[in-house]
Amino acid sequence: MPHFTDQKQFFAIDEKYKNMGFATRSIHGGCNPDFLHGGVVPSIEMSTTYAQPAPGVPSSAFDYSRCGNPTVLAFQRNLASMEGGKFAFAMHTGMSATISVMSLLKQGDHLLCIDDVYGGT
């Protein structure tokens, strides 16, 4: 497995599927055998933080799970592959989704939501 320092580099792995049928892209996009054990289904990443040789110096494409982790990246790659896109984006947490939506709003915009919305919102 090559050493990636940027999450965008992972999407290039799925280029080989771009001219294949939807079923092939759906099954194989984002699903490479685990380089350590050979598992063919992406495992669920439970870590929240990743080792760094020094503060602010990630040792891989991941530093903190809210900013990306292998599980969400596999889903993004699979979604991009199914849609025939180069990249796809999925939120890692509910607060990430909330902040992303809120950052799209301008002064005077309106946002409708239910009255049972998450308290941190």
3-state percent helix, strand, coil for the chain, nearest multiple of 5: 35, 5, 60
pLDDT tens per residue, range 18-67 = 899 999 999 999 988 887 788 888 888 898 888 888 988 888 888 888 78
Q: Does domain 8-104 have CATH number 2.60.120.1600?
A: no
Looking up tokens 């809210």 gives 66
Q: What is the mean pLDDT of the chain?
A: 87
Query: Residue 104: which pLDDT band, with cuts at 50, 70 and 90?
Result: very high
Cα gap 77→112, rounded to integer Å: 31
pTM assigned to the model: 0.72
What is the C-alpha separation between 55 and 63, in angstroms, rounded?
A: 10
